[in-house]
């Protein structure tokens, strides 16, 4: 076995490989780009080597830099993860020449499956069933159009070198074939520098079912059952599960054996996946083979109790696979969801930004979370916008989905838009839970799944208002609190204004003699109380007691409050920024502005000598995961600014002094 490996990847897969290596007593070297200096995989590895600029082509895709890092680190092998160089035969070859083991299949096997057209030719010979289609070398538009006619519409045009759903076009009728072909070729050329395409029958309501295969260098080859990855958007997986719903044992064996035949046909070694497209009646056809570990491998690990990265390391170091086909069993059901920083309502456009608040499900007996980010990290435009994979394992499919829907409802992300709401809707959709599974599911059920973020109700306005009250009511044991007399709502009443889209709502807050609050909500008055604790608010609203997380975030044109409660989330805009700053600046007291909370200065907007007017922002303080803008309490001149950007300040610290 190796004593040290280098991981030529980033994000959750790099972290995941490190985890297994560590358990096996293998040292790890990470590589990182500029954008990843502070990334989780860098912190997790035993050592890390900087390999270049943020763009992948300046770092994670540069063969020489990675080999050089491996040499300097004294790594005996390289794990490529997935994406990046994992299916690059040239890289696998270069590793061999440099005397480093490539943890993956032989270069020839990668090459054989690298082109979807070539792969289909090989599979044809191995008698693996193929989707009716054309995968020949003649690429003249006339011939391709004629082939499409022969296959029968609808057809699918695919880039032979394709991946990630790029260079694919569905064509419904002959008249549209020419334009679609030109489009697919343009996209293929741009993405893969190769515009070779194939044409195949476009199946209606198909399922994506894939088989995990494994082979060692001693001639053993087996399958670790199937995964159903039919829930997709833009031909890309969103939810994956194992075993596939409604799979009968005979069909499983048939598909498993077809996949093993495919692997054997190309002299495969290591972990691979043979992807099939299946009709609802169970008939299936070879689609492509991915010659690497797959994003969704955890569901297979959960139902088989195996660690596929461990298997990869054993096989790559020349060992035999730990088990034989007969020893493998399916235990229960597993599902994985891909939590993406993307906006389902804007055609799944990736969303970038800093994860100012991140609460992922807690790992446990039934729950696994593979992630490459932590709170405070940034989702950049450079790489895949995946935040985490959440995996649930339970005794049957229904329990698994119920558990996952609940976990998605408890997931809290502020700073980027995510698909958590969609994932929750999917895992609790009666049709999906009932076993309706095909690649058109999301589109067909769009209306129910994409229910727009509901209009805020009284409960939402109450939670947001209580969050504001809690902010201005420091815990009573605060010594500084005693010095400073200010408290919002000490006497009389106050009004908080919220905006929910275009709708504006004022909530009147009164402190009752009993110590309770009375909230004047659109639907009438309600008694309430709130307590701060451990990042969450303990709320009593009428007869209801519950907790909520509220994250306050300064945005360019105001202050947003994101509420997480009742398994959902809501965003409200606080109206009148002056109102925000007023209470925060009240700390001013004797001609100075003090820090209302312990925190860090992240922006200074004034310097000594500046004249400021009442309400003008002075600085931004980051505290309790939120940004607070402190403003001038009155017109005046700045005498001194006591702290610099990046400095940590204690609660009550004098930040800005006035003449």
Question: CB of residue 381 vs ligand ADP: minimum separation in angstroms?
Answer: 13
Question: CB of residue 472 vs Mg ion: minimum separation in angstroms?
Answer: 53
Which one among 129, 132, 136, 163 touches ligand ADP, defined by CB under 6 A?
A: 163
- What number of chain residues touch Mg ion (CB under 5 A)? 1
Question: CB of residue 297 vs Mg ion: minimum separation in angstroms?
Answer: 14
Q: Which does 36 bind (CB under 5 to 8 A by kind): ligand ADP, Mg ion, none?
A: none
Confirm or reject binding of residue 377 to ligand ADP (CB under 6 A): no
Name residues whose C-beta falls within 8 Å of residue 499's C-beta, 6 or more positions apart in sequence: 505, 572, 573, 574, 575
Residue 452 tokens, joined: 């727009």
Confirm or reject binding of residue 162 to ligand ADP (CB under 6 A): yes
The Cα 43–Cα 35 span in angstroms is 14
Q: In b/e form, how buried is each residue of 150-162, taking b as 16+ CB within 10 angstroms?
A: ebebebbbbbbbb
The Cα 314–Cα 79 span in angstroms is 12
Nearer to ligand ADP, 287 or 521 (CB): 287
Question: CB of residue 384 vs ligand ADP: minimum separation in angstroms?
Answer: 4
Exactly one of 10, 292, 459, 511 is catalytic; name it: 292
Nearer to ligand ADP, 12 or 412 (CB): 12
Residue 432 tokens, joined: 């999906």
**250-279 positions binding Mg ion, by CB under 5 A:** 275
Confirm or reject binding of residue 202 to ligand ADP (CB under 6 A): yes
Residue 72 known to be catalytic: no
The Cα 131–Cα 110 span in angstroms is 22
Nearer to Mg ion, 275 or 471 (CB): 275
Q: Which does 156 bind (CB under 5 to 8 A by kind): ligand ADP, Mg ion, none?
A: ligand ADP
Query: Parallel, antiparallel, or unpaired: how do β-strands 47-52 and 27-33 relate?
Result: parallel
| Full strand arrangement of the beta sheet holding 77-79 | 47-52, 27-33, 4-7, 77-79, 101-102
Confirm or reject binding of residue 295 to ligand ADP (CB under 6 A): yes
Burial of 67 (0-12, 13-18, 19+ CB in 10 A): buried
Confirm or reject binding of residue 235 to ligand ADP (CB under 6 A): yes
Confirm or reject binding of residue 79 to ligand ADP (CB under 6 A): no
Which one among 31, 203, 519, 539 touches ligand ADP, defined by CB under 6 A?
A: 203
The Cα 131–Cα 277 span in angstroms is 8
Q: Between vectors from CA 275 to CA 273 and to CA 277, what angle results, nearest 5°?
A: 165
Which one among 136, 165, 322, 589 touches ligand ADP, defined by CB under 6 A?
A: 165
The Cα 61–Cα 55 span in angstroms is 9
Whether 592 and 654 have beta carbons less than 8 Å apart is answered as: yes
SS3 content of the chain, % helix, strand, coil (to 5): 30, 35, 35
Confirm or reject binding of residue 164 to ligand ADP (CB under 6 A): yes
Question: CB of residue 331 vs Mg ion: minimum separation in angstroms?
Answer: 27
The residue with tokens 């088990």 is: 323
Nearer to ligand ADP, 70 or 197 (CB): 197
Q: Which does 322 bind (CB under 5 to 8 A by kind): Mg ion, ligand ADP, none?
A: none
Residue 79 tokens, joined: 């794990």
Which one among 12, 296, 342, 370 touches ligand ADP, defined by CB under 6 A?
A: 296
Which one among 418, 439, 562, 570 touches ligand ADP, defined by CB under 6 A?
A: 439
Interface stretch with ligand ADP, choices 203-211, 309-317, 427-435, 628-636 (CB under 6 A): 203-211
Which one among 40, 237, 366, 459 touches ligand ADP, defined by CB under 6 A?
A: 237
Interface stretch with ligand ADP, choices 228-236, 555-563, 587-595, 641-649 (CB under 6 A): 228-236
Confirm or reject binding of residue 397 to ligand ADP (CB under 6 A): no
Give the number of other CB atoms < 10 A from CB of residue 190.
11
Which one among 206, 272, 415, 636 touches ligand ADP, defined by CB under 6 A?
A: 206
Nearer to ligand ADP, 368 or 459 (CB): 368
Name residues whose C-beta falls within 8 Å of residue 31's C-beta, 6 or more positions apart in sequence: 6, 7, 8, 10, 48, 49, 50, 51, 59, 60, 65, 66, 69
Rama region for 644: left / alpha / beta (φ>0; ψ in -120 to 50; rest): beta
Nearer to ligand ADP, 94 or 231 (CB): 231
Interface stretch with ligand ADP, choices 100-108, 155-163, 298-306, 614-622 (CB under 6 A): 155-163
Q: Which does 33 bind (CB under 5 to 8 A by kind): Mg ion, ligand ADP, none?
A: none
Residue 130: DSSP 8-state: B
Question: CB of residue 132 vs ligand ADP: minimum separation in angstroms?
Answer: 9
Q: In b/e form, how buried is each residue of 472-509, taking b as 16+ CB within 10 angstroms?
A: bbbeeeeeebeebeeebeeeeebebebbbeeeebebeb
Question: CB of residue 565 vs Mg ion: minimum separation in angstroms?
Answer: 39
Q: Between vectors from CA 533 to CA 529 and to CA 539, what angle results, nearest 5°?
A: 25
Residue 81: DSSP 8-state: -
Which one among 26, 148, 287, 330 touches ligand ADP, defined by CB under 6 A?
A: 287
Nearer to Mg ion, 275 or 370 (CB): 275
DSSP H stretches of helix in 365-484:
397-410, 420-427, 430-433, 441-444, 446-449, 458-471, 479-483
Question: CB of residue 158 vs ligand ADP: minimum separation in angstroms?
Answer: 6
The Cα 327–Cα 307 span in angstroms is 15
Confirm or reject binding of residue 12 to ligand ADP (CB under 6 A): no
Question: CB of residue 174 vs ligand ADP: minimum separation in angstroms?
Answer: 18
Residue 555 tokens, joined: 């945005």
Confirm or reject binding of residue 437 to ligand ADP (CB under 6 A): no
Question: CB of residue 172 vs Mg ion: minimum separation in angstroms?
Answer: 22
For residue 293, give the nearest of 206, 370, 383 by alpha carbon: 370
Nearer to Mg ion, 27 or 116 (CB): 116
Burial of 401 (0-12, 13-18, 19+ CB in 10 A): buried
Which residues form the interface with ligand ADP (CB under 6 A)?
Answer: 82-83, 131, 156, 158, 162-166, 200-203, 206, 208, 232, 235-237, 275, 277, 287-288, 290, 294-296, 384, 439
**Catalytically active residues, by annotation:** 292
Which residues form the interface with Mg ion (CB under 5 A)?
Answer: 275
């Amino acid at each position: 076995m190796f004593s040290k490996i280098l991981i030529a990847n980033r994000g959750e897969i790099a972290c995941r490989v490190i985890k297994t290596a560590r358990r096996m007593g293998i040292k790890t070297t990470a590589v990182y780009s500029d954008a990843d200096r502070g990334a989780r995989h860098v912190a997790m590895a035993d050592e890390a080597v900087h390999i270049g600029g943020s763009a992948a082509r300046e770092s994670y895709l540069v063969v020489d830099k990675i080999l050089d890092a491996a040499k300097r680190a004294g790594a005996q092998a390289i794990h490529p993860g997935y994406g990046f160089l994992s299916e690059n035969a040239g890289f696998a070859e270069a590793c061999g020449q440099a005397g480093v083991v490539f943890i993956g299949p032989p270069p020839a096997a990668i090459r054989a499956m690298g082109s979807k057209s070539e792969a289909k030719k090989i599979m044809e010979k191995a008698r693996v069933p193929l989707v009716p289609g054309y995968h020949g070398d003649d690429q003249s538009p006339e011939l391709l159009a004629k082939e499409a006619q022969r296959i029968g519409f609808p057809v699918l045009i695919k880039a032979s070198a394709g991946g990630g759903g790029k260079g694919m076009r569905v064509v419904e009728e002959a008249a549209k074939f020419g334009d679609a072909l030109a489009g697919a070729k343009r996209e293929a050329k741009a993405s893969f520098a190769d515009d070779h395409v194939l044409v195949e029958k476009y199946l209606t309501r198909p399922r994506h079912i894939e088989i995990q295969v494994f082979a060692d260098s001693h001639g053993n080859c087996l399958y670790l059952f199937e995964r159903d990855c039919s829930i997709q958007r833009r031909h890309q997986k969103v939810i994956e599960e194992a075993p596939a719903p409604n799979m009968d044992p005979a069909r499983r064996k048939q598909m498993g054996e077809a996949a093993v035949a495919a692997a054997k046909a190309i002299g495969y070694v290591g972990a691979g996946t043979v992807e099939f497209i299946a009709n609802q009646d169970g008939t299936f056809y070879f689609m492509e083979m991915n010659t690497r570990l797959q994003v969704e491998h955890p569901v297979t690990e959960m139902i088989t109790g195996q660690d596929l990265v461990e298997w990869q390391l054993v096989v790559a170091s020349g060992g035999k696979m730990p088990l034989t086909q007969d020893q493998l069993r399916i235990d229960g059901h597993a599902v994985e969801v891909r939590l993406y920083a993307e906006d389902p309502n804007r055609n799944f456009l990736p969303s970038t930004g800093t994860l100012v608040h991140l609460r992922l499900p807690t790992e446990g007996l039934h729950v696994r979370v593979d992630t490459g980010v932590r709170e405070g990290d940034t989702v950049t435009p450079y790489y895949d916008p995946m935040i985490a994979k959440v995996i649930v394992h339970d005794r049957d499919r229904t329990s698994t989905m119920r558990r996952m829907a609940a976990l998605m409802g408890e997931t809290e992300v502020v700073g980027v838009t995510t698909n958590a709401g969609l994932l929750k809707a999917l895992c609790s959709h009666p049709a999906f839970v009932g076993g309706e599974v095909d690649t058109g599911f999301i589109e067909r059920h769009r209306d129910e799944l994409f229910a727009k973020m509901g209009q805020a109700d009284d409960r939402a306005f109450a939670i947001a208002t209580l969050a504001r009250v809690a902010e201005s009511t420091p815990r009573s044991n605060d010594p500084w609190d005693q010095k400073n007399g200010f408290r919002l709502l000490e006497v009389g009443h106050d009004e908080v204004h919220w905006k929910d889209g275009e709708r504006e709502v004022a909530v009147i807050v009164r402190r009752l003699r009993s110590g309770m609050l009375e909230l004047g909500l659109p639907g009438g008055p309600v008694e309430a109380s709130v307590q701060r604790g451990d990042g969450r608010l303990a709320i009593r609203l009428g007869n209801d007691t519950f907790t909520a997380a509220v994250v306050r975030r300064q945005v360019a044109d105001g202050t947003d409050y994101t509420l997480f409660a009742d398994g959902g989330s809501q965003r409200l805009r606080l109206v009148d920024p002056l109102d925000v700053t007023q209470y925060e600046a009240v700390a001013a007291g004797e001609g100075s502005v003090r820090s209302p909370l312990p925190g860090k200065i992240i922006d200074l907007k004034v310097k000594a000598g500046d004249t400021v007017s009442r309400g003008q922002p002075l600085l931004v303080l980051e505290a309790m995961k939120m940004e607070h803008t402190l403003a001038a309490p009155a017109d005046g001149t700045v005498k001194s600014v006591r702290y610099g950007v990046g400095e940590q300040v204690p609660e009550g610290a004098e930040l800005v002094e006035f003449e």
